[in-house]
Amino acid sequence: MSKHKNELHSETSPYLLQHADNPVHWKAWNKNTLALAKAENKLLIVSIGYAACHWCHVMEHESFEDQEVANVMNQDYISVKVDREERPDIDQIYINAVQLMTGRAGWPLNVVTLPDGRPVWGGTYFKKEHWIEALQQIQLVYNESPNKLEEYAKKLENGVKNMDGIQLNTEESDFSDFDTASLLVKWSRNFDHQFGGYKQAPKFMMPNNYHFLLRYAIQNKDDSLLDYVEKTLTKMAYGGIYDAIGGGFSRYSVDAKWHVPHFEKMLYDNAQLVSLYSKAYAQTQNPVYTEVVEETLQFVSETLTSGEGAFYSSLDADSRTDTGELKEGAFYVYTKNELQDLIKDDFEIFKSYYNVNDFGKWEGENYVLIRDKSNAQISEEFSISEETLQRKKKEWKNILFDYRNKRSKPRLDDKILTSWNGLMLKGYVDAYKAFQKKEYLDAALKNAHFIKEKQLQNDGAIYHNHKDGKSTINGYLEDYAAAIEAFIALYQVTLDESWLHISKKMTDYVFQYFFDEQKHMFYFTSSKDDKLITRLFEYRDNVIPASNSIMAKNLFKLSLYYNDQKYAATSKQMLKNVLTELSSYPIGFSNWLDLLSNYQSNFYEVVVVGNQASEKINTINKHYLPNILIAGSTKKTDLFLCKDRFVKNETFIYVCIDNTCNVPVSEINKAIKSIKIKWTN
């Protein structure tokens, strides 16, 4: 048996700490672990997951807590646990490898590698018997025919390196000629016009898709597309995927009607959805969207926010039942008898409102609350006013909130990730723009100061993580991209130029340590980081937009703020690089499509200068104007867009394209009309 022990007790990741008492001799991914595998010439087991992952817990309970399994792993292997949220660079390499090997990948992700980390076998969740059998067979091959594994590792390594084979596009591209309309026709064939989203299950929310589709619908006056986007947002808000009692969204639904969620709640989903619903509200004034934003931010404030104003990562899908069993969704579901006892005289209305019937039933005797009727429909059905219904609804929520808070709560992953904090910071800014609530801006500023003071270093470098007062992991491109985007957004509501200057400093750092001069894209990892088997470019948008697409949009904006031609040219070239793949897979390039829209329609710099600049900008920000960039000042400034535009005792609004401006106006309505009068070229 191995002389090694489980070494995870000294880690800070809640996911790694969950495995610290396993009989498996887990180690963390670091230089010492890799050196040990080479010294002992042992295969590595690299097991990757995250704290809120339900099936990660299932496999832990069935296999990693089991002494028989541990004996097999400890005898022949060096076993490494990785938190995918802490180390997305490692995760992406092995996700790609398993995708190549099996055609599918997810978490838990379990891979066997050669001592140098090159993968030879892998998959996701395994039952105990299958896991033991596979490990024994692989070890037998390694003992008897190691060359076979070496040959396979070489082929797989080449495959992984080629998966993100982005190339420099040297052809001339006229973005205005790109046929987005035809692309939308193909894309729309997968739209679910009954429940919103796409015709599939499980159903992920993909907020960035709807950011772009909302923009396209408004700018191109496409009422059918706007109806589809609104249907999707409303059905998600009505669905069980949205926590009707405590606010906030789960990660995805397992069915087509957004009913039964995979119950973990992730910061990154809620951050992006706050932004999306805030923008949709600015356009539609739909009160359902107001409720979603208010309740989700209440959830984030109460559950996912540290005393320093930083945001935690997630809530687990699982919690303990009355009998002490860890069960998915136990915190969130109710039996009909429970609901009748709690709601009492209002139960018939409640039952219809939240479908305590076959439509809302999940498994066993449990119901997941789901709506399929508007407030107006319920009011008419029960002959009560909408005001009365709203009052009753508030009472129901308070009753159920207090009741379920007596239950065992889902576990919190309290690590802080800069990238996800950037997304949530921007969510608060977008909510402030739409609703003008001071507490939203206060939360955004508090978080921005946390990032600036705890994560940002003097040279423009940024840390990826923060836990127990320590920041330890060098930042990835996603951290810079999200923080820069958030700081630019924060400048646009505060007019504090320091946030722009910090963004520029981080951008210049990214050029120095992440940029590839041949391909004109940014690597996911810094050139200062330890080498992995390959260095990847993240450019396909997913549940979170790709770090390269966010960065390209940042460069577009910063090029206007600083009149920087290098930023402008790089942003354009990055977009050119993805055009071919974008044409065949728009769902995975929606953030790039948003950038493309800046070139296909009039994009305005809206500059407000004068002592009333802040008030006027607040009013402008309440409108849905996706094709503008805000700049402004209440005094003289050398910022390029505002320079020489200050006139004492006057506040003027300049509406400009490429720094060519209309006659300045002082009336907000005139400025907005000049932006909206011709959405497209």
Range with the largest mean pLDDT of 115-124, 164-173, 316-325: 115-124
Residue 485 has pLDDT above 90, yes or no: yes
| Residue 46, pLDDT above cutoff 70 | yes
Confidence of residue 448 (pLDDT cuts 50, 70, 90): very high
Average of per-residue pLDDT across 57-73: 96
609: three-class secondary structure by DSSP: strand
Question: Is the confidence at residue 94, as pLDDT, over 70?
Answer: yes
Cis, peptide link before residue 202, omega less than 30° from 0: yes
Residue 127 pLDDT > 80: yes
Write down the pLDDT at residue 272. 98
**Is a pLDDT exceeding 60 seen at residue 517?**
yes
Whole-number Å distance between alpha carbons of 621 and 264: 33
φ and ψ of 147, to 5 deg: -65, -30
Banded model confidence at residue 681, pLDDT cuts 50, 70, 90: very low
Distance of CA 618 to the CA centre of its chain: 27
Domain 195-318+413-600: which topology? Glycosyltransferase (1.50.10)
Average pLDDT (67-85) is 97
List the structure tokens of 65: 């807590």
Dihedral of CA atoms 218, 224, 227, 231 in degrees, nearest 10, equals -130
pLDDT for position 290 = 98
* Domain boundaries along the sequence of the chain: 8-163, 195-318+413-600, 332-406, 604-676
Statement: residue 151 has pLDDT above 60: yes
pLDDT at 426 over 80: yes
pLDDT band at 3 (very low <50, low <70, confident <90, very high): low
pLDDT at 1 exceeding the cut of 50: no
Cα–Cα distance for residue pair 124/113, rounded to 1 Å: 15
pLDDT at 679: 57
pLDDT of 416 above 90:
yes
Mean pLDDT of 126-137: 97
Contact between 268 and 543 (Cβ < 8 Å): yes
Average pLDDT over residues 496-508: 98
- Predicted structure pTM score: 0.96
pLDDT reading at 296 higher than 70: yes
pLDDT tens track for 354-396? 999 999 999 999 999 999 999 999 999 999 999 999 999 999 9
Per-residue confidence (pLDDT) for residue 196, from 0 to 100: 97
List Cβ<8 Å contacts ≥24 apart for 394-400.
395/346, 396/343, 396/346, 396/350, 397/244, 397/245, 399/342, 399/343, 400/245, 400/334, 400/342
Averaged pLDDT for residues 302-320: 96
- The per-residue pLDDT for 659 is 80
CATH architecture designation of domain 8-163: 3-Layer(aba) Sandwich (3.40)
Please report, rounded to a whole number, the percentage of residues in the chain having pLDDT higher than 70.
99
Residue 2 pLDDT more than 60? no
Region of residue 248 (phi > 0: left; psi between -120 and 50: alpha; otherwise: beta):
left
Whether the CB-CB separation of 197 and 229 falls below 8 Å is answered with no
Residue range 617-644: mean pLDDT, rounded:
94
pLDDT of residue 522: 98
Average pLDDT over residues 634-642: 92
Per-residue pLDDT at 678? 62
Q: What angle do CA 435, 441, 443 make, to 5 degrees?
A: 120
Q: CA–CA separation, 49 vs 465, rounded Å?
A: 17
How much is the mean pLDDT over the chain? Answer: 95
Query: What's the distance, Cα to Cα, between the start and end of the chain in Å?
Result: 72
